[in-house]
Structure 1
Amino acid sequence: MSHSAKHANQQGSKPPKEIFCYGCNKNKPSHSFSKTQLTKYMSNIANEYAPHGRTLKKHHTMCKACTPQQNSTLTCMLCTRTKPLEKFAKAQRKNAEKARCLQCMKKREEDDIDDSEPDTEDSDGSYNETWDDVL
């Protein structure tokens, strides 16, 4: 007896024993790849239930050794010191070339307050010089 829903609840097929790594240009065993890379690799394989496969773009699978690691430090553009990510605001981490550390941002904020011009009004406010007085 055949049913059209045969294997419908199956969670997907297993990856092949060896997968080509585009980083080192070698065939490597599937355990050399992260779960994310394996998922992306499997999405490139034709799916009989999807009309044109799962993705339109070919994913270049890379093994764990070739996958770049997350950056854990940034260099402050003001003091030029390399510091851990915790020393930078989250908004500053998004643009690494223009990142400013919390210490420099605090210092600049304090300096900006002191850089404002003092008020020239007299205490009684009776006389204010105008352009007509100067000319």
Structure 2
Amino acid sequence: MSNPQNPQPKNLYCYGCEKEKPIHSFSKTQITKAVSNIHNPYAPSGRTTKRHHTLCKQCTPQQNNNLTCMICTKTMPLEKFAKAQRKNAEKARCLSCMKKRNEEDPSDSEDGYSDEDDSYEKRETWDDIL
């Protein structure tokens, strides 16, 4: 990992805990970001244009492994959600709720109008819940 043309510093500053820490406290990605901030004679203006704020391993946020279904309000692991539902965590619906919605009788009219007795009755639909 050591490059004689561009030596690595022994310590790096963590912007999360605002402390100088030894380099082994940082991930390889964070070290690469920090080293890109150091003067680079081969870069057009001598350094990269973006200033990276490095975070140590303790301050780096962890991946979220659970989501809460907006329909049944249960918190479940990501495997219980479709990949498309995981993209918007606030509106995520679990696979079982999605299955229930797909299994609803498509012949039910959404407006609640019944042909049998020509009466209008209000039924709760998925749009009412959302």
TM category (shorter chain) comes to 0.7 to 0.9
Find the residue that maps to 1:74 and give its secondary structure: strand
1:14 CA displacement: 3.5
Report the alpha carbon displacement of residue 105 of structure 1 after superposing the two structures with TM: 0.3
TM-score by length of 2: 0.76
Please state how far the C-alpha of 1:114 moved relative to its aligned partner. Answer: 5.2
Task: Say if 1:112 and 1:25 are closer, same or farther in 2 by CA, change over 3 A.
Answer: farther
Return the offset for 1:116: 4.0
User: Is 1:46 the counterpart of 2:19 in the alignment?
Assistant: no
Matches within 5 A, 1:38-77: 38-53=31-46, 55-77=48-70
2:95 maps to 1:102: yes
- Structure 2 residue 18 is matched with structure 1 residue 25: yes
Larger-gyration structure (1/2): 1
Tell me if structure 1 keeps the 8 A contact 2:41–2:47: no
Instruction: Name the aligned partner's letter for residue 110 of structure 1.
Output: E
| TM-score (norm. length: structure 1) | 0.74
* Number of residue equivalences: 111
Point out 4+ residue stretches in structure 1 off by more than 6 angstroms: none
Question: Residue 41 of structure 1 aligns to a residue in which SS?
Answer: helix
Q: Is the 8 A contact 1:45 1:53 kept in 2?
A: no
Report if the CA contact (8 A) 2:40-2:48 is conserved.
no
Counterpart residue type for residue 6 of structure 2: S
- CA separation of 1:14/1:66 partners in 2, compared to 1, >3 Å: closer, same or farther? same
Contact persistence 1:43–1:54 (CA under 8 A)? yes
Change (3 A) 1:71 1:12: farther
Mapped contact 2:15–2:54 kept (Cα < 8 A) = yes
Q: 1:94, CA displacement in angstroms?
A: 0.6
Q: Cα 1:70–1:11, aligned 2, differ >3 Å: closer, same or farther?
A: farther
Instruction: Give percent identity, aligned residues only.
Output: 70
Tell me which residue corresponds to 2:126.
Answer: none
> In the aligned structure 2, how far is the partner of 1:12 from the partner of 1:115?
72
Q: Which residue of 1 aligns with 2:78?
A: 85
Deviation at 1:52, TM superposition (A): 1.9
